[in-house]
Structure 1
Amino acid sequence: MITPRAMYGSASHGKTAFFAGGIKMDENGNPVVVQNVEKYNADTKTWTMINGMHKARKFSSGCFLRGKFYVLGGRDDNDKHLTCGESYDETTNSWELIPDMLKDMTVIADSQSPPLIAVVDDNLYMLETSLNELRVYDINTNIWKKLGVVPVSANAAFGWGIAFKSMGDRLLVIGTSHSWHRKTVVHSCRPSPDVEEQHWEEIKHWCVGAELPQFIHNFCVMFA
């Protein structure tokens, strides 16, 4: 990176990836929360600095939604949780601040994970970790609609250790079950913003011959 850092919000679209905010070290070795945003071009293997966000933020989440790069939540330089989001329009190289984008989300601990988000069919979904609920975002009203309970205990570690991703036209979630033996399970659904309770299907032969760990450190979806 042009500005090396960690704990940023990121997302890729085609052969371009965006990295927003995060923590860098200053000349004295002290951590600093930044507004910096860079994009990486996989064809030219180059980094480009673009306009910074309105807010400095760390532990945020990023996604592409309807042609724009969105950054949600995180914490500011005072370690305060941010309820605002921002969207970036590449055609104008400008950011739009979205106040109160996460105003209805419950922060259950200072150690709360970054927002667990995924985009399917141009709809933004979030796993509300404190209530183990799936929600969908209405981009026109800035409101999240409830879509029922997910089949994992996302609140067990304040949202950490859960995999929540889009996979084509489906949502995929991996985490510990609600049952007493705390088994790690894999479920998917084809989400619909118009259905109050989603139909989750367990994928039982995901990891043949081995048990999945109870805490997922990193997870990605790749198509070949």
Structure 2
Amino acid sequence: MVRIKSNGFRLATYGVCLLPLTLLAYWLRQDFAGFAPLEGWSMILGYLSFLLIGVTLLLGPMSVWLPPSWKAPLLSARGDVGIIAGLCGLLHVALVLVLFQGEPRLMIIDDSHAPKAEGWLGLFFLSFPHEESLIPNWSRTGVANYLGLCAAAILLTLFLTSFQIVKKRLGGSSWKRLHLGNPLLFLLVIFHALIYIQSIKGEPHSFADFLWFAAIVWIARGVGFLHNVFRRKR
């Protein structure tokens, strides 16, 4: 496989990603007009990260179906798309932590009347007056936040190891095993988002906002897997 090293190609990849992302962010901003600006942007960045993580999972099957000359550019672009997905996701997490540490807090239709811990710890723990230790929050809100925390940890790991200098230090086989966590990351983000959208946040979202794209990703990967199996048998 020919390795793509051109800085021009990488810049083109970023441009191809950022232009539609900017237009999509502008379009989504209309749906979040009723939210505080920081909260609206935190959700928009979460959406964009979800979409880009899905794109990284689609580029692999596409490289199998398209002519061989497309394989190297697509696999090279996958790493750069992953970097942008990581930036969007980590900015989403950072804004949520800022919102919970200060004001305004996120608008959540909470399913628990138990008092939350102060600051961003309130995302994950309950706090009672006569209890010295924090108690894990296993309400729907808490479970969604724990899923998001796991996804953020995986995303940060994948983001930090997406750069060539880190990849060389890890070695090809170790790097590949580490990045097999990308489908797990996608699943965690889906469940995190679905709980927030349907059970906590409600409008302006719905299940369909996420499930149609998730279905495309998993069907494409399933077909790609079967294609590889039959090709190897032949």
TM-score between the two structures when normalised by the length of structure 2: 0.22
Larger relative helix fraction: 2
- Higher relative contact order (CA closer than 8 Å, sequence separation 6+): 2
Higher strand share: 1
